[in-house]
Structures are given as structure tokens and as C-alpha cells.
Amino acid sequence: MTGLLTTAKALFQAAVDRADPAQALRAQLASSPLPPLPEGGRNVLLTVGKAAIPMMHEALRLIPDAAQALAITNPENYAEIPGATVICGSHPVPDETSAAAGQAAIELARSLGPNDRLIALISGGGSALMVAPAPGLTLADKAAVNKLLLASGLEINEMNLIRQQLSDTKGGGLLRHAAPAQVQAYILSDVIGDDLRAIASGPTVAPIGTRSQARYILQRAGLWDSAPEAVRTHLIATEESQETPPPATNILIGSNRHSLKAMMTAAAEGWNPRLVSHRLVGDVAEAAETVVTAAESAPLDRPIALIFGGETTVQLRGTGLGGRNQELALRVAKLGAERLSGDWLFLSGGTDGRDGPTDAAGGIATPTTWEAIRAAGQDPDALLANNDSYAALNAAEALLITGGTGTNVADVQVFLRRPD
């Protein structure tokens, strides 16, 4: 099993390496240099997200004349950068530090003149790390809604549609504060399908939807009555005309699909690699069934490496600790023990190195994981029912712990299986 684990971790690392934000930015600016500014114009840098630190390092190297530079990231990825101000927000639930970051970004944008250019480097996590409540709302209102959304099982685009309608920076809000300055954005996607409106909730693009759509989603999900009264009042308010935000240039420089291709290439030697799905989304229980069914049906004339990418969702029914990748691994451990024979290993991890509010990037499952949890004196079924995947996998020494990676292109999974 050691060989399978080494291979799985190497494939995961290949995905992370391909999403290196500095390398992606370097390649983009080499192929399409920034156009010159009007006389007296200034370049101002803003990086937001889990990849903000390496993006800022590279941006300062490539754009040495930047007049100001602000990086907003999560505490796990914090690092001082000469020539830049670095501040941390909170993720996945925003707090006062996220609000301070949002205010700093707004003040930076408002300081720009008509000849200036804001160069925004945006990556996943920015939605929580930089917040600014819409007029009439408080940070507590937004945090309460965010907690509801994270436990709801809603798709990420639906969550972001709601978040945008409660924000002063999301859904093109940052553009309004920066106007009339130019805005050039380079974006690292953590959203499946790469909808730029959804990445970090789209601070430099038009919103996904409207207030009435946000109301409908909350009502359909049974969350409306649990939302703060101020939020309900805000969303019930007369629908504002959908003003088009000021123009911006938005360029995608990295995504989950690029990382999946890198995994396929890395697995080509010695394995039969198959990209099963680049949209492993929706409920984590259904995703686990998809994974195990694919493993059951794959030909075993030679060792197989089944590759998946996406971002599942978890409906929280318990009080345990974990994340979507850990719960996916735990569910695959159970199904695999029941239905698969031979030598196999499954790994699911977040490319940012963090899965939910834990220190793990994800989890690992093998034919013995489920019983190893029992052998450690734990009840795996009870832990799963309580959404306590972290405790379950920790008992089996099956957590994937990498530390912060400095990038974020959603989740990747690999299922390795040898012939019986």
C-alpha cells in the first residue's frame, strides 16, 4: 500500500504544481504584456485569495513600478512581502479581519485616478477573505448567511449569487469603487466550469443574478426563515435596475482542468490513466457512489488511475469536524470495503491544502480504512452520521495533511487500483 500512497500523493502534487499562480501569471504577462498607461498614470496592485502571496511576489517582480500594493490572504498562507501591505481575512467564515480587508480594498480602489490602472490578481477564497456588507447590513448578518450556505448543500454558483447581493465589493462592486480607473484582472479559478462571475464572487465582473433570484434560492433551500431579518429586508427591497458595472479586462490564467491534465500526464508512466469526470459536484454521498462505480467498471488489464476534479457539497446533519474531501474519502472507504476487492487507494484533496475548518487537505481511503477506524475504538458509521470525518480518518491515520499550498483550483481526486 505504500507504493500506492506515494503515487497518489505525487499525482496530487502534480495538480498543485500545475496551478502555481506565479508561473501562470509569468506566462500570461510574457505572452500579453500590459499596455502603456497615460502620462502620469500609476499601476496599483491588489491580490485577493489563497494564492495572493505568490501572485503578489511575482507581480512586484514583473511590474516593479507599482505605486501601491495590497495583498489579502488567509492566515495559513500569510507571509511578509517587501513593497506590499499584507493583511489576512478569515476563511471559510468571514469575520472582522475580513471586513477590515474589504475596507482596505475599497479605500485602495477609491484612491485611483482616471489615468491609473488597478491590476487585480484574484484566486479562490476571496469571497470570505474580503467582505464589505451592502448598505443596511452588518458583518454579523453576512456571517450568519455564510454559515447557512456552507451547511446547505447548495451549489457554489448559487452560494455566490446570494453573497453578491449582500456585498459592496462582489459582483462587480470593486469596479464601481475603482471607476474611472482601468481595471485589469488575472484570475485563478477554483470554480468548476470557470465562470468568472463566481470566482471570489466576481469583484471585477458583472453579478451572477438578482435579488429576486437570491430570495428564490434561499426559500427553495429552506433557509429563508433562518436568515437575519436585515438580510430578508434587503432582498425584499424593490429590485434595483441591473446596472452594468464599469468595464474591466478579466483573464483566466489557471483552473482545475489544467491541473487534471497534469495529473493525467504524471500518471501515464506505469498506469492506465482515465479522466473520469472534471465535474465531480453535488452531494458528497452521490459523488462517492460515482467514484466506486467507476472503479468497479474500469478494466483491470493493467493498473488504473482514475482521475476526478470538482467540488462536492456536504449537508451538515451533525456537529462533527471535517470537510467535503474528508467526508468523500470516508464514504469511499465504506463503499469500497463493501464492493471492491484487491489492492486500491483513493485520495481526495483540496488544492489549497485545507479542507473545511481543519488542518487537513483531505483524506485517503484503502480497503482497510473502515476497519482501522473500528480497531481504534471508534464507530465509523456514527462518526459519518455526525459529519465527523476528521476524527474518523484521524483514527485510521488516513488524513491528507500538506499545509497551505499557496494556490487554489478546487478539489482533485485519484483512485488507484491494481489487478487482483
Phi-psi region of 323 (alpha: psi -120 to 50; beta: other; left: phi over 0): beta
DSSP at 350: E
* Residue type for position 62: L
Scanning the structure block, which residue is given the C-alpha cell 483524506?
363
Burial 24-60 (b: 16+ CB within 10 A, else e): bbbebbeeeeeeeeeeebbbbbbbbbbbbbbbbbbbb
pLDDT at 175: 97
Question: Which residues have CB under 8 Å from 187's CB, separation 6+?
Answer: 121, 122, 123, 196, 199, 250, 251, 252, 253
Report the alpha-carbon distance of residue 286 to residue 75 in Å, rounded: 33
Count of other CB atoms within 10 angstroms of residue 262: 19
> Element (H or E) spanning 156, and its range?
helix 156-165
pLDDT tens track, the chain, 420 positions: 679 999 999 999 999 999 999 999 998 999 999 999 999 999 999 999 989 999 999 999 999 999 999 999 999 889 999 999 999 999 888 899 999 999 999 999 999 999 999 999 999 889 889 999 998 999 999 889 988 998 888 887 788 899 899 999 999 999 999 999 999 999 999 888 899 998 998 999 999 998 999 999 999 999 999 999 999 999 997 665 456 789 999 999 999 999 999 999 999 988 999 999 999 999 999 999 999 999 999 998 899 999 999 999 998 899 999 999 999 999 999 999 999 999 999 999 999 899 999 999 999 999 999 999 999 999 999 999 999 999 999 999 999 999 988 888 999 999 999 987
**Residue 269 burial (C-beta neighbours within 10 Å; 0-12, 13-18, 19+):** exposed
Cis (ω within 30 of 0) for the bond into 114?
no
Work out whether strand 411-417 and strand 362-365 pair parallel, antiparallel, or are unpaired: unpaired
pLDDT at 150: 83
Interval 309-321: pLDDT, tens: 999 999 889 999 9
pTM of the model: 0.79
pLDDT at 408: 87
